Each structure stands twice: as structure tokens, then as C-alpha cells.
Amino acid sequence: MSDQTQPQHEAIVIGAGVAGIYQMYKLQELGIDATVLEAADGPGGTWYWNRYPGARFDSESYTYGYSFSKELLGEWEWSEHFAGQPETLRYLNHVVDKFDLRRHMQFGCKVQGASFDEQNCYWTVNLEDGRKLTTRFLLTAIGMLSAATMPKIEGVDSFEGDSWHTYYWPHEPVDLAGKRVAVVGTGATGVQVIAEIADKVGELTVFQRRPNWCAPLHNDRIDERTQAEIKATYDEIFELCRRSPGGFIHAPDQRKFRDVPEEERLALWQKLYETPGFSKWMSNFIDVGIDPEANAEYSAFIANKIRERVHDPITAEKLIPKDHGFGTRRVPLETRYFEAYNRDNVHLIDINETPIERITPKGIRTSYQEFEFDLIIYATGFDAITGAFDRINFTGPGGLPLRDKWSQSPDTFLGVQTAGFPNLLMLSGPQGGSVSTNYPRGIETSVNWISDLLTYMREHGYRRVEAQAQAEQEWRQHVQEMYQFQLMSKIKSWMTGYNSNVEDHDRIRFMIYPGGAPRYRQRLSEVAQNGYEGFSLS
Ligand code: NAP
């Protein structure tokens, strides 16, 4: 008979994506008995699922890889400045094999729920296959954009052709040649798909609700010399990322927009537009995301770029956001996205003018016209951050479901724990810092911090940790204060917890830590230095 008072594992990690892989590496290093439960049949998380055409980083590849192993950095060669999904998935598999982590991972394991046993101080994890596993600590590495959402449109299931959410793109090659294809959604995903398939399909019809401020990615292959330079300067690259608010090599220009003469301002903006990656968002004047006038001027500059690139002026106007300024939603980076609309086979439908009435067996019916398609691609996004938690029935000691606790506000302390859920440790929890940065950079912070906490607990003989309600309240207030300064705080997007397709999420919720990575890390280390103040350890 097994001893029911003792859990089977010291730690269970849910998810084998970027976060789960590194967390398992650290647990293995610390000699903590752990297993990773992953619903997919392989590691990779986001990069396992999102196999749609055009899926690639908007982060420089060499800032996206893990920084923890010099050997790994020395041996892995990214082929492009912004790598595509297949390469990233290969990379993550390589990491798993290199550090012998696969033996700790169970694939095809979908977690349905988990409940905390107060008496024995452990979590019981229920799997879809009927198994129950127990663990002292339950670590969620369930991703921030992993709960894909289909649009709430009548008739979605009635379509007789192929249709997929981009997240569930088939693993087998899809023949697009000559096909009549619809794309619903123009976020970062839709923008990548549209640009990639425009010249590969027969007809492409894009259904756009709100346009986004897209800007050029400027991807390129990494030549041998640059490859050597990257390898020789990894320390500097990661130091730049560490110092920047977003965990990128791009840091804000500390000058204020008004302090710079117009000519110089325009010269900087032109340079940023020509520079690869997120420079045009993150290397801008410090107040462009805060000062409405600065933001309006910059938005006007980008609008003119769109007008220059799209031949038809009516289409160009439809592609220019009018309801929000540049950078107040996540900026999609693109390669020849706007040029796609210059093609005769690409059609843009503004569904504010002619709303979608329903999906029909043959295609999509708007208030103006019925369209027939062979394939409908739903690039309609995610129930971000809390969505993945809501899909697992976490219940605390008193039986309180986490989704009920978070129904009004997804409150946490530091994004790491939420009061009332002991020993549940979140790697990318709401209001945390890892969800607002270049993901692996933020994740390394979270994993390292949580691993230190586990070490501290082991050294001090503690087996229970819980965020204090008071600390959580103060953190929520701090997060809200940080939001106040930002223009993005009033704009509906996944970064403000908005999703029109999920009940009760069609409103603004404070979901990410908007104060920047350095400030977040500073708070984390203060808490640790003060004996994990704000947490009850016993
Ligand atoms: P998203 O930004 O939330 O975009 C979803 C799109 O679908 C929006 O255009 C939205 O319109 C539209 N939509 C949703 N429901 C609809 C409905 N019922 N009817 C019509 N349109 C509807 O999602 P995403 O594009 O998948 O991107 C999510 C995040 O994933 C990105 O912001 C980024 O962080 C990450 N991502 C990263 C990369 C990369 O690194 N390169 C690539 C792709 C995605 P509204 O805007 O009107 O709501």
C-alpha cells in the first residue's frame, strides 16, 4: 500500500513549452523529483501547435533562445534573424534531448483539474485518461496564448469545406493552390498568414473587424560572419535584453517627443521603420506610448507609410487603424503584408460596413453578399493568459474554483501565486512580468525565481507556500497604477484581457505587468531577499 499522506511527486509541471522545458531543466538540476504533463504529443507549446503558413518570431531569434547554457548557445545556429516555426520547434526539441529532459515528460496527457488536499498538503491532478497524480508543488507552464478561441458567429460548425483555427493548423502539408480561401482576423497571426499565402492561393478574402498598426519585420538570413558575431556577443545581447523594459535588444530613446525638432524626429522614425524587428515600437521616444499627441504624430507617420504601400486609397484607409494609436495594441510585424492587397486575387472585407451574418455550408454570408470558399482560416486569437487556467478546474483548499476567484479580476501576487491556492506556482500568471516581455527572457526570470523559492523552502524545511491576500491586493493596485500611465490601458486587446468571443471577457481586465522587466525583477528580488515577504511559508 502506498502512503497516502505523501505525494507521488515533489513537483508536477503542466506544459512542455518554452517555460515547462526550462522549468524541468532546473528541477532536474536541483534534484527535485518532477514530471511534466503535456497535452500534445511532443514538446514545444506554442511552437508545437501554431504551424500555420508564415508563423515565425517577431523577436530576434538570438534573443529568443535560452541563455542558461553557454554550450547550447555555442552550438545552435539560427538560420534567420526571425526564425520560422519549424526551426523553433526543432530548437526546443534539441534542448529537450540535449539535457535529457524527455524522460521526465509525459505526452498526450491532458490535465482536467487539480484540487488541493489541505490535510496532506499536496495537489491531486486529474488527467483526462482517468489517472490521478499527486504532487507537493504544482507548477503551471500552460502558456499565455494557448486557449484558442473561435469566433462567436452563427453557423461556424456548418461549413462543409476545411476550416481551422490557426493554432490547430494541420500537421500534414495543406495544398492551397487554386483554393478560394477566407481569413477571419487581422492580428499578428492573421497578418502573417495573409502575407504568406496571398500568392499561393486562388482567391483570398480577408474579413477584417479592426485593423492593426503593422510595420515591417525586415527579416533576413544570418550569414556566417554575423553568426560568429552573435555567438561572440551573447553576453552583451542578453545584457541589452535585461536592461530593456520588454526584454528585447530594443530600448526606448530616453528623449521626449517634444524635445526633438521635427526634422530630427522624422529622421528617427524613418530609421526605425527601416530597422528590423520591434525597433519601431520599442526604440521610439520615451513618451510615444504615454502622450496622446506624440502617439498621434507617430501614428500619422505610420499611416502615411501604409498609404504609400497600398495602391488603392480606399483599401489603404481601411487598413489604417482609426480607433487606437500605434503600439497601444500588440504591433504585428509583417513581410509584404500591405503589398498583398495590391494583388488582384486578394480582397478586403471590412465587416464593420458589411457584418458577417453567418457561416454557411458553402462559405460566409455578410449583410451584402454570400461568399463561397474551399477553406476558412480563423485567425481569431486567444483567451489570453487566464484562458488556459480557466480550462483546468483548479480548486483550492475550501473547494473554491480558481476561475470563480478570478471572475472579477485575475489577481495574483507578482503573477506567481494567487491567495487561496497554496503550492500552485505560475510561470506566466496574470499580472506577472513574463507575460509582458520577450517570452523566454521573462520566463527565465520566473523559472529562476520559483526554483530559488523551492530551494529556500527545502533548506528551511517548509512544505507550504501561499501568497498573502494583503500582498495580492497591494500588487493589484500597483499593476493598475502602472496601467494608468499607458495609452494602451483604455484599448481593447488581449493585452488588456479583452476577447469578444468569451463570455465576460469582452471588457478590459488588467492582465499583464506593464511596468517593465527591470522594475519587475527588482520587486521579485526584494521579496526574496526579505525572506519571501508577502508569502506565508509553513
Ligand atoms: P489577436 O491579436 O487577438 O487577433 C485576433 C483577430 O481576430 C483580431 O483581428 C480580431 O478582431 C479578430 N476577431 C476575433 N473575433 C472575431 C469575430 N468574432 N469576428 C471577426 N473578427 C474577429 O490574435 P492573434 O493574431 O492570434 O495574436 C495573438 C498574439 O499572439 C499576438 O498579439 C502575439 O503576441 C502572439 N503572436 C506572435 C507572433 C510572433 O511572434 N510573430 C505571431 C502571431 C501571434 P478585433 O481586433 O476587432 O478584436
Q: Which domains does the chain have, with CATH numbers?
A: 9-43+101-147+383-537 (3.50.50.60)
Determine if ligand 1 sits within 6 Å of the CB of residue 342: no
Question: For atom 19 of ligand 1, which residue has the closest CA?
Answer: 151
Helix (H, G, I), strand (E, B) or coil at 127: strand
At 3, the pLDDT band (50, 70, 90 cuts) reads confident
Q: Is the CB of 383 under 6 A from ligand 1?
A: no
Q: Is the CB of 185 under 6 A from ligand 1?
A: yes
- Tell me if 105 CB under 6 Å of ligand 1: no
Q: Which atom of ligand 1 is nearest to the CA of 151?
A: 18
Burial 349-374, CB ≥16 within 10 A → b, else e? bbbeeeebeebbeebbbbeeeebebb
Report the nearest-CA residue for atom 29 of ligand 1.
188
- For residue 433, CA distances in Å to 65, 300, 312, 454 come to 18, 31, 42, 19
Residue 9's pLDDT band (boundaries 50, 70, 90)? Answer: very high
Q: How far is the CA of 204 from the centre of ligand 1 (A)?
A: 18
Does ligand 1 lie within 6 Å of residue 145's CB atom? yes
To test ligand 1's pocket by mutation, which of 57, 212, 380 has the most ligand atoms within 8 angstroms of CB?
Answer: 380
- How much distance in Å is there from the Cα of 496 to the middle of ligand 1? 13
Q: Is the pLDDT of residue 386 over 80?
A: yes
Cell numbers for 210 = 479592426
Q: Ligand 1 within 6 A of 190 CB?
A: yes
Does residue 214 surpass a pLDDT of 70? yes
Q: How far is the CA of 393 from the centre of ligand 1 (A)?
A: 26
Could you give the C-alpha distances from 461 to 39, 244, 273, 419, 485, in angstroms and in order? Answer: 33, 37, 54, 21, 42
- The reported pLDDT for the residue numbered 485 is 86
- Distance CA(332)–CA(335), nearest Å, equals 10
Percent pLDDT > 70 in the chain is: 100
Instruction: Look at residue 179 and tell me whether its pLDDT is greater than 80.
Output: yes
Q: How far apart are CA 498 and CA 511, in angstroms?
A: 9
- Give pLDDT, residue 1: 56
Cα 499 to ligand 1 centre (Å): 10
Q: Report whether pLDDT(231) > 80.
A: yes
Query: Which one-letter DSSP state was computed for residue 330?
Result: P
The residue nearest atom 21 of ligand 1, judged by CA position, is 185
Ligand 1 lined by 209 (C-beta under 6 Å): yes
DSSP 3-state percent helix, strand, coil across the chain (nearest 5): 35, 20, 45
Q: What is the DSSP letter of 371?
A: E
pLDDT at 415 over 70: yes
210 lines ligand 1 (CB under 6 A): yes
List the grid coordinates of 235.
553576453
Q: Helices 234-243 and 439-460: crossing angle, nearest 10°?
A: 80
Amino acid at 370: E
Using a 6 Å cutoff on CB, does residue 227 contact ligand 1?
no
**Dist CA 355 CA 340 (whole Å):** 23
Cα 495 to middle of ligand 1, angstroms = 11
CB-CB contact of 412 with 405 (8 Å): no
Confidence at 87, pLDDT banded by 50, 70, 90? very high
Cell numbers 480558481: residue: 402
The Cα-based distances of 139 to 11, 27, 35, 46, 135 in angstroms read 7, 11, 10, 18, 10
In which band, very low, low, confident or very high, does the pLDDT at 423 lie, cut at 50, 70 and 90? very high
- The Å distance, Cα 380 to ligand 1 centre, comes to 5
Residues 6+ apart with CB under 8 A from 392: 14, 111, 112, 113, 114, 142
pLDDT of residue 2: 72
Q: Would you say the CB of residue 381 lies under 6 angstroms from ligand 1?
A: yes
pLDDT (mean) for 507-530: 95
pLDDT reported for residue 91: 98
Centre of ligand 1 from the C-alpha of residue 190, in Å: 7
| pLDDT tens track for 445-491 | 999 999 999 999 999 999 999 999 999 999 999 999 999 889 999 99
The DSSP-derived string for 260-305 is S-HHHHHHHHHHHHHSSTTHHHHSSBTTTTT-HHHHHHHHHHHHHH
User: Does the pLDDT value for residue 256 go beyond 60?
Assistant: yes
Mean pLDDT value across the chain: 97
Q: Which one-letter DSSP state was computed for residue 350?
A: E
> From the CB of 385, is ligand 1 less than 6 Å away?
no
Distance (angstroms) between ligand 1 centre and the Cα of 188 equals 6
Cα–Cα distance between 467 and 96 in angstroms, integer?
31
The Å distance, Cα 313 to ligand 1 centre, comes to: 25
Q: Is 139 a residue whose pLDDT tops 70? A: yes
Verify whether ligand 1 is closer than 6 Å to residue 439 (CB atom). no
- Asked if the model's pLDDT at residue 159 lies above 70, the reply is yes
Q: How far apart are CA 114 and CA 87, in angstroms?
A: 34
How many whole angstroms separate alpha carbon 189 and alpha carbon 333?
10
Average pLDDT score over residue span 99-103: 98
Q: How far apart are CA 290 and CA 286, in angstroms?
A: 8
What pLDDT was estimated at residue 129? 96
Q: Is the CB of residue 50 below 6 angstroms from any atom belonging to ligand 1?
A: no
